Structure formats: structure tokens, C-alpha cells
A = this chain, B = another copy of it.
Amino acid sequence: MSQLQVLLVAGTHGNEINGIWLFDEWNKSSFLINTHGIKTCKIIGNPNAKKAGKRYIHNDLNRSFHEEAFLSINSANFEGSRASELVNLYGEKGQNPCQIALDFHTTTASMGSCLVVYGRRNVDLALASLIQNKLGLPVYLHESDQKQTGFLVESWPCGLVIEIGPIGQGLLNARIISQTKLILETLMEQIHQVQNSNLFFPEKLIIHRHIKSIDFPRDEEGNIDGYVHPRRQSKDWQALKKKDELFYKLNGETIRFEEHETYIPVFINEAAYVEKNIAMSFTKRELWNFKKEWKQSFLDLVHQQ
């Protein structure tokens, strides 16, 4: 019998509460979510931030999973300690080892439901392919971004972020909750199929590959002086053509898209990214062939337990 165990995380950001609420209901009614017999550990990523109604206390927990942080026993901030604690408790070599981490987030951007993979690990791409094949979700490949590192799922052998929006911070919404539930159950069902060697891997994976993030327009003092243009707001995943409106300023000036390539914008006007100087990110849409080694790596991970 496989001892595969899946770590389910909600509330990695304390003001993204729909997943937390779903977990609470699940705790009350254990039949609420069908995990297809797979063992799970479900946790609140940042309970202190949840309590405070904030994204985080000292630092973004989902940028705090760095090797060097785990070496120091007393981190100077809550999230550094919490990251170490989670790895010690639920990491591959932790007290209660999990091999796959699924991290449930929400966004104020109109992203719908999507998956985020960090880098090009075979196992992540295999699992993302399975879900895309089943639900048709877009996959955002986040890579080559030196400014954004230390994501939770990277500390597990396999891991995906699930992003659902638009939803305001601190706000519960029936639609977001049911989207979360659907993706969670689909993930468990697909992992179960692989465990039981019912293999239906697709031939292709559509990737939205991260190219770069762009900042808001700023004045001489560095203050934001223009905002996402009404024609760009809520247009995540829709390709930008040259001269399309990006930002507007109250003085009437419009800032336009001037790149020579076609980019697809994501995370347009995500409230939490303002402090990271990110107004939106640009991606390129690519059709990748599904590789044999993705499947093999994922089979190895699921069956080696």
C-alpha cells in the first residue's frame, strides 16, 4: 500500500480565506471532500496572519522558503520560523512526511482558476498536465524571476499553486469556494488514477511562460501616479497588441503597450503585488509536447512511497 501523503495548504496568505473556510467545513464533515483514499495533511499556512486579517506579519510567507533560512534556528521574523516549521513537520524528511504540496491561493485579479508551476520540474509539469487535460485550466510557468523566490511548493518534491480570482482580500465567496473544492477533488482524483496506473497523460501542455513583470507609472518621488487602464482591468489571459492601453493617469495621459512581441498579461492589478512593484506580469503562450520523463518522474514519486 502506497504511503503517499499530500500536504494541502490554505491561508499561506492570511487574507486569502476561502480555502481556510473550506478546510474548516471539511473538518466538520469529513465526507465533504473526496480524496480517493489518499492520505492528506491539511493546514493553515499562516495562522497568525489569518488572525490579524493580513497577508503576513513580517514577510510574505510564500517568499520565505529559502534553504539558508532553514539553517538558522531563530529566524528574525515570524514567517521565516513558520517556513522552517512547516518543512520540519511536513517536508519530505519531516516528522509527518508529505511528497506533494498543493497550495491554495486567491487573487484580486480576474485570473479565473489557474495553476502556477515554479520552474520546470518534471513532476510538477506532469501533474499540471493532468489537471489541464481534465479541467482546461491555464498554467502559468513562473521562472527566471530573481526578485520573486522562496515559494512554499518548491520545498516539496512536487507542488503546485492553485490561484482563483477575482476575489477581494478577506472576502468569502460561494463561487470561489466551489471552484476551490472542484480543483482540490480533481487533483486528488488524478493522483489516485496515477497511483492505480490508470494513465491518461495528454500529449500537449499549454504553458504561459513568465517573461517579466512591469511596474506602475511613477512620479519623480517614486509614488504611483497612474493606474491600470479601464480597458486592461480584468483582461487577464487576453493577448496584448501593440498600442493597447496599459495605464491611465488622471491628467488624461494613457500609457500603452509598446513591445514588438505578443504578450499575455496575468495578475493584472493584484492588490498584494503593489508593494512588490508589480502592476501585471507578461507571459508568452507556448504549446509544449508532453515529455516521457515528466510521466516517469511522477510515477516514480507516487509509487516509491
Contact = CB atoms under 8 A, between A and B. Distances in A.
Interface size bucket, A side? 35 or more
A228 interface: yes
A271 B230 contact: no
B233 A168 contact: no
A227 interface: yes
Contacts of A21: 224, 227
A170 interface: yes
A108 B24 CA distance: 23
Interface in A239-271: 248, 250-251, 269, 271
| Tally of this chain's copies | 2
Interface in A154-173: 166-173
A21 B269 CA distance: 15
Contacts of A24: 223
A233 B173 contact: yes
A280 to B, nearest CB: 13
Given A54-B54, A227-B21, A219 B170 contact: no
A172 B171 CA distance: 16
Contacts of A41: none
A53 to B, nearest CB: 7
A304 interface: no
Interface in A25-75: 25, 28-29, 32, 53-54
A188 interface: no
Contacts of A227: 21, 172-174, 177
B174 A108 contact: no
B174 A271 contact: no
Given A167-B168, A223-B24, A250-B22, A175 B230 contact: yes
